[in-house]
Amino acid sequence: MIFTIAVDGPAAAGKGTISRALAEAFGFAHLDTGLLYRAVGAKAGDPVAAARSLSPEDLARDDLRSMAAGQAASVVAAIPEVRAALVAFQQDFARREGGAVLDGRDIGTVICPGAEVKLFVTASAEVRAHRRWLEVGGDEAQVLAEVKARDERDMNRADAPLKPAADSILIDTSTLSIDEAVAQAAAIVRRRLG
Ligand code: C5P
């Protein structure tokens, strides 16, 4: 069976948690596409060359989850040639046999416009910054400023900006527990699977 679940939304909205839970529940493969951009941003040298030569070792680096790596990712993610170099890998993954969940910013709009399920997972900037702050610590106001700066860059770039696909279903996790958010998402997928 070929079945793609596209999960888009801003940083720390809960996309990754929901995507991993859906993959587990339905036995689908999961790709965190943000990791591709983080790996490109973390590599020294020309980002376009880095995107064209991305290797499994690049994706296994243990420093890709930091706030700094997220900011660097969103800078290189605005370069059209970087995005173009990563399209085929993501599309092949999405159409693999057995079902796939991809989370990112442009999965439902650009990478998989024909995805069987499209979710747009969001939450207020304050709630998202608070969640991120619980993980990384430091100054919460600074974390909020970084979250807003990344939103701004991701939503306003010319190529594949972050926005909900017209046919996506919105899940606002601002006041939901993880279990509630996952249950909503799973119910949507179950309905589509029939
Ligand atoms: O999801 P994550 O926070 O790991 O993504 C890091 C950055 O990579 C995002 O802020 C965004 O700029 C970029 N990204 C993207 N398209 C995707 C996934 C991530 O532009 N599909």
pLDDT tens digits along 140-185: 999 999 999 999 999 999 999 999 999 999 999 999 999 999 999 9
* 150 in contact with ligand 1, CB cutoff 6 A: yes
Q: What is the pLDDT of residues 41-83, one digit of tens each?
A: 999 999 999 999 999 999 999 999 998 999 999 999 999 999 9
Give the residue, by CA position, lying nearest to ligand 1 atom 4: 34
Phi, psi of 101, deg, nearest 5: -115, 125
- Ligand 1 centroid–CA 71 distance in Å is 9
Give residue 106's pLDDT: 98
Give residue 177's pLDDT: 96
Q: 83 by DSSP, 3-state: which?
A: helix
Give residue 79's pLDDT: 98
Average pLDDT, the chain: 97
In the block, tokens 């490109």 appear at: 40
In the block, tokens 């800078």 appear at: 75
In the block, tokens 């046919």 appear at: 167
Give the residue, by CA position, lying nearest to ligand 1 atom 21: 104
Give residue 72's pLDDT: 96
CATH fold for domain 4-193: Rossmann fold (3.40.50)
Q: How confident is the model at residue 36 (pLDDT cuts 50, 70, 90)?
A: very high
Estimate to the nearest angstrom the gap between the alpha carbon of 167 and the chain centroid.
18
Buried b or exposed e, range 47-67, using 16+ CB within 10 angstroms: bbebbeebeeebeeeeebeeb
- Ligand 1 centroid–CA 194 distance in Å is 31
CA nearest neighbour of 18 among 96, 123, 166: 123
Domain positions in the chain are: 4-193
Give residue 142's pLDDT: 97
Q: What is the pLDDT of residues 87-146, one digit of tens each?
A: 999 999 999 999 999 999 999 999 999 999 999 999 999 999 999 999 999 999 999 999
CA nearest neighbour of 141 among 125, 156, 154: 125
* 74 in contact with ligand 1, CB cutoff 6 A: yes
Q: How confident is the model at residue 27 (pLDDT cuts 50, 70, 90)?
A: very high
Give residue 23's pLDDT: 98
Pair of tokens at residue 189:
């997928």
Paired residues of 104 in beta bridges? 8
Phi, psi of 161, deg, nearest 5: -65, 155
Beta carbons within 8 Å of 193's beta carbon, 6+ residues apart: 3, 26
Handedness of CA 80, 86, 88, 92 (dihedral sign): negative
Q: Candidates 5, 33, 83, 159: which one to mutate for ligand 1, based on the most atoms within 8 Å of Cβ?
A: 33
